[in-house]
Amino acid sequence: MKNQIIEKWQSEEKSRGAWSNLPDIHIAETLARSGLDWICFDLQHGLMDYSHLTQLLPAITGLPITPVVRVAANQPDQIGKALDAGARGVIVPMINSAEDARQAVAACYYPPKGLRSCGPMRDAMVEGLSYLGSANEDIACLLMIETEEGLSNLEAIAAVPGVTGLFVGPMDLTYGLGLAPGDFSNDRFNAALQKIMQACRSNRLACGMFGYNAEMAAESLEQGFDFVSIGSDISMLRDGLAQALTTAKAEVKSSEPSRGGY
């Protein structure tokens, strides 16, 4: 199946995904069957490691969703192993310079586009050697801009050949700007978002945002972002439970008989 982040962006459509922090096959499969375009398995801050990834990615193989992995660091071995396990893209944190971007790109693609070593274990099992003919066009190399240094080198980063898109981690960006955590209404934060989106437009890159919930995701898409997460497995479980409990309590209260009397 084609990479839906790339395909929808090229068709000028928005794509919506979810963040997976829990190493549970059933949760991953539920997310994959929900109608989302993509799912990101988080090896940087999620409660999972590479051994979990080798179980989670096969669990959603063949389902209409694009698997992406946020790697723990901009290291060729980590990027290569995530792709060999079946990811169709990587989100690479802490990109601060054009050299950082070039290193990530080199790890994502086979020669001559990059330096990725050939050993696509999962995709070779599913697709055979035909995977090698399409991988360089179907892999998304998504770079996180989350520091003052990254912002200062933004144009150089965005101009690196092979970058698919830039991705914003909003909480880390507030930290990087020296703001209070989560101060998303701050003018400096919003100016940084505009700068990132403009760099993407100027260099024909997709622009993504980590949304903490559906409301933030919708607002980001309205601002001009191309792909967003609508929440994480943990946040959606927590919020869904809270809403269900509130509704159940309200229903019980409304159905209680009146205790009025003379």
Q: Which residues are catalytic?
A: 45
CA separation for the pair 84, 54 (Å, rounded) = 10
| CA–centroid distance for 154 within its chain | 19
d(CA 66, CA 245): 32
Token pair belonging to 161: 């050949």
- At residue 126, what is the residue type? V
SS3 184: coil
Q: Which residues pair with 29 in a beta bridge?
A: none
CB 33 within 8 A of CB 27: no
Q: Rounded to whole angstroms, how far apart are CA atoms 211 and 119? A: 33
